[in-house]
Amino acid sequence: MKRNILITGGAGFIGSHVVRLFVNKYPDYNIVNLDKLTYAGNLANLKDIEGKPNYTFVRADIADLDEMRRIITTHKIDGIIHLAAESHVDRSIKDPFTFARTNVMGTLALLQAAKEYWEGTPEKYEGKLFYHISTDEVYGALELTNPEGVESPFTTTASSSEHHLAFGTEFFLETTKYAPHSPYSASKASSDHFVRAYHDTYGMPTLVTNCSNNYGPYQFPEKLIPLFINNIRHGKPLPVYGKGENVRDWLFVEDHARAIDLIFHKGKIADTYNIGGFNEWKNIDLIKVIIKTVDRLLGNPEGKSLDLITYVTDRAGHDMRYAIDSRKLQRELGWEPSLQFEEGIEKTVRWYLDNQEWMDNITSGEYEKYYDDMYSNR
């Protein structure tokens, strides 16, 4: 079936993987990638598909209601996959207003523009969908009932699956009460509520998913895994918040993209699905795995980069543990992660080491100036 799909934030980390998947998998779909190209958006992430006939890029700000109206109408959009967001907690602590503008008002502008266009079509909401991608951080924090957990499977016979029950028996469910603790998670929680309100008030077909931490290629290097890979390569300090005991659930980004594809096509309207990796790690244990993997692939003596670990003052309001229960998605739609963590982290480290030009371009900031110059002339 011919469809016109708008993917917001498609030049970012997760968004670029979703855009690539849809463009390659659905040649009959017209995929419109909308991205503001802020610091975290980079069209180099999509070089391999930029010439495809079913792909269009549009630079725009989702908080610009008139522009959202124009884009949705011009491209006759019947499906929206909304990933565009400010997403770094540290930045939200320093500048909460930017997060409120993009994540809350931007989502609201998209919803309103879609509502107006879809209600004006002969079929109205039939065949339409607004799919909103959110985060597990809206749920707050879980108690860490087993702070020791289990040792890394890289040093013991434990399997990655054993990590899922390593740190506690409580998990975020789709019915878990929202309790955001940072400006970032508060802004995402608010956007989630607006999406659901547009379904309940206007009958708009909507879906919401909440996902755990993603890792993989093309992630902006302010985030832990690419930052630490790059710092190890250059012999720079590895800043660890507090004692590094905070626990996160990790999912390979391509598995998240597969889940988004499945939910977009088969998810139940007005429902919520949690997406997680069943793969919990203490930050310090994850960092040691990264160090071991990078040192091995660079030919360094084992443990050489452990001395780069530098403990710094903990982040304000730092949640201790996130853990997603994604059994509903497994049970209802048949999705599960395809990669064990050992395979995923190896693949990720190799990608960043093999794509140092991409990393250098990002860390230099040259790509931002290039896009500003290019689009200022249009």
Q: Which amino acid is at 297?
A: L
Pick the catalytic residue: 136, 192, 280, 319? 136
Measured torsion, CA atoms of residues 247, 176, 211, 214, in degrees rounded to the nearest 10: -10
d(CA 192, CA 194): 5
d(CA 289, CA 297): 12
Q: Is 343 a catalytic residue?
A: no
Q: Is 137 a catalytic residue?
A: yes
Pick the catalytic residue: 35, 78, 137, 254? 137
d(CA 2, CA 7): 16
- Candidates 156, 314, 154, 324; CA nearest to 245 is 314
Pick the catalytic residue: 55, 125, 139, 184? 184
Q: Are 168 and 145 in contact (CB under 8 A)?
A: yes
The residues assigned a catalytic role are 136-137, 184
